[in-house]
């Protein structure tokens, strides 16, 4: 059920409850007024009859009281009678009742008067007291001379109540219908139609049309909602344009870097072979120089620089054309142990202690040679960052919750600034006087080729930590 229908249903039910309660209260009020009117009528009639009785008795016309009662016969009067305290009827508007007792009569129905419609009646009894004027004839032995009974039909009262209930019900029903129609129209114009427009607009946005514009007039919550939707759509459009521009720039950058990589690989390949020739020729020439000759030392220095150039060319080739991976079941801890063995001598010469903490990790799919190259490059960078000694940490964890294997390479060197850490994996990045600057970039390429990721964090004066995350595979 839609929000519009739920709102109307709730409003109608609530209005129905309110109208029903108010109608019931109104009917009870009318009922009370009608009952009070009936009571006043009986009281007035009793007072008139009592005064008539006293008047006729004081004038000595007691026999004329029956004639007075006969004049009171009306459609809604059942009977008017006077009886003693013992119930003996002395006079009555119904002559057949004289001489009988009240206990033989029915004052709650019409059987006493032979009414075939069985209509209900209302009866009231008034004491006729033996006051000072009455004692001249009746003496002062009794305080009560008799009891006056007035019996009326209630059908007129019932008719008025039924008619009132019908009118109140019709008015309540009409009010409920008008209220429901008004609520439905108001909900349709102020809630359903704006919400439908918003939903249609969001559907167009989902389809990719970010030029949607909702009308913001009218004010109120719906107006503010339309303003919010327009603001969100406008921001989405701006963000998409920014993303498209960045993607275009990124694509152009990637294409340019790919072209530069191919060019660098070609140049490096062309340089590698001449370097090998120059190195061989220089070694032959150096053999003819005496050991004490300055030329011998110069030749050796040239050979060392040629070796450095050759290493740079090799790193450039590896970075520009990463080899295809040979994925096999690999023991990560065994790779860490081999890296430790290879750098132990260099670490000792720098006064660096190697701390290895490895979890029990099952074998995972990886290229052991390439992964060892990546960890080695990170470890060498950390060693070079601790010229005054320190601790190199090689660690591994099996994060079963995330399904990843984490390899940690950390140092206790001087660390890097925030601006430097952002460029740490870019090619040719280096903070040292030695090295080609491709080590960290090659490490990132190797990790990403394993569908993993590498992160770096550094605190100035506390050291740098590299974290490699590889997906755990069986």
Highest mean pLDDT among 93-97, 291-295, 405-409, 436-440: 405-409
Q: What is the pLDDT of residue 169?
A: 85
Q: What are the backbone dihedrals phi and psi of residue 436, each rounded to the nearest 5 degrees, phi first?
A: -90, -20
Q: What are the backbone dihedrals phi and psi of residue 11, each rounded to the nearest 5 degrees, phi first?
A: -65, -40
Which of 408, 388, 258 lies closest to 333 in space, CA to CA?
A: 408
Question: How is domain 3-160 classified at the CATH fold level?
Answer: Beta-Lactamase (3.30.450)
- Give CA–CA dist 352/338, Å, rounded: 17
Structure confidence by residue, pLDDT tens digits, 78-95:
778 788 877 788 777 777
> Which pLDDT band, with edges at 50, 70 and 90, does 401 fall under?
confident
Q: What is the pLDDT of residue 112?
A: 37
Structure confidence by residue, pLDDT tens digits, 224-274:
777 777 788 788 888 888 888 888 877 886 676 666 666 666 666 667 677
Alpha helices in 59-104 (DSSP H): 65-70
Q: Domain spans of the chain?
A: 3-160, 325-471
225 against 218, higher pLDDT: 225
Q: What is the pLDDT of residue 71?
A: 66
Structure confidence by residue, pLDDT tens digits, 46-68:
877 777 777 777 766 666 666 76
Q: What is the pLDDT of residue 217?
A: 60
Tokens of 22: 């108010």
Structure confidence by residue, pLDDT tens digits, 111-129:
334 444 455 666 777 787 7
- The CATH code of the domain at 325-471 is 3.30.565.10
CA angle 378, 379, 382 (to 5 degrees): 90
Q: What is the pLDDT of residue 136?
A: 67
Inter-residue contact 164 to 30 (CB < 8 Å): yes
- Give CA–CA dist 37/123, Å, rounded: 15
């Amino acid at each position: 059920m839609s929000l519009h229908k739920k709102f109307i249903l709730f409003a109608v039910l609530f209005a129905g409850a309110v109208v029903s309660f108010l109608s019931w209260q109104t009917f009870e009020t009318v009922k009370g007024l009608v009952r009070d009117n009936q009571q006043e009528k009986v009281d007035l009639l009793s007072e008139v009859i009592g005064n008539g009785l006293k008047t006729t008795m004081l004038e000595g016309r007691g026999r004329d009281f029956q004639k007075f009662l006969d004049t009171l016969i009306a459609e809604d009067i059942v009977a008017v009678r006077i009886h003693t305290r013992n119930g003996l009827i002395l006079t009555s508007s119904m002559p057949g009742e004289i001489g009988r007792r009240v206990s033989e009569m029915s004052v709650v129905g019409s059987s006493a008067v032979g009414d075939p419609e069985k209509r209900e009646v209302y009866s009231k009894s008034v004491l006729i007291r033996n006051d000072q004027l009455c004692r001249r004839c009746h003496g002062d032995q009794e305080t009560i001379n008799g009891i006056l009974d007035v019996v009326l039909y209630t059908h007129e009262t019932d008719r008025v109540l039924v008619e009132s209930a019908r009118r109140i019900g019709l008015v309540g029903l009409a009010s409920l219908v008008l209220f429901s129609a008004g609520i439905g129209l108001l909900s349709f114009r102020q809630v359903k139609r704006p919400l439908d427009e918003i939903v249609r607009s969001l559907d167009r946005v989902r389809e990719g049309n970010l030029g949607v514009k909702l009308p913001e007039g009218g004010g109120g919550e719906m107006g503010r909602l339309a303003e919010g939707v327009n603001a969100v759509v406008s921001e989405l459009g701006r963000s998409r344009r920014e993303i498209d521009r960045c993607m275009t720039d990124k694509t152009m950058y990637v294409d340019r870097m790919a072209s530069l990589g191919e060019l660098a690989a070609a140049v490096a390949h062309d340089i590698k072979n001449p370097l090998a020739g120059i190195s061989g020729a220089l070694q032959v020439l150096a053999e003819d120089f005496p050991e004490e000759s300055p030329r011998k030392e110069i030749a050796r220095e040239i050979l060392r620089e040629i070796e450095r150039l050759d290493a740079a060319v090799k790193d450039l080739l590896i970075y520009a054309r990463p080899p295809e991976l040979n994925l096999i079941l690999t023991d990560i801890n065994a790779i860490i142990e081999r890296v430790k063995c290879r750098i132990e001598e260099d670490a000792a010469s720098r006064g660096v202690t190697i701390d290895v903490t490895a979890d029990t990790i099952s074998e995972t799919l990886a290229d052991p040679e390439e992964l060892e190259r990546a960890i080695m490059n990170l470890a060498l960078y950390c060693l070079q960052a601790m010229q005054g000694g320190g601790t190199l940490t090689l660690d591994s964890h099996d994060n079963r919750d995330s399904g990843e294997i984490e390899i940690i390479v950390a140092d206790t060197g001087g660390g890097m600034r925030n601006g430097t850490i952002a460029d740490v994996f870019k090619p040719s990045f280096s903070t040292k006087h030695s090295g080609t600057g491709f080590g960290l970039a090659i490490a990132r390429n190797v990790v990403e080729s394993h569908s993993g990721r590498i992160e770096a964090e550094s605190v100035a004066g506390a050291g740098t930590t590299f974290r490699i995350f590889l997906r755990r595979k069986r």
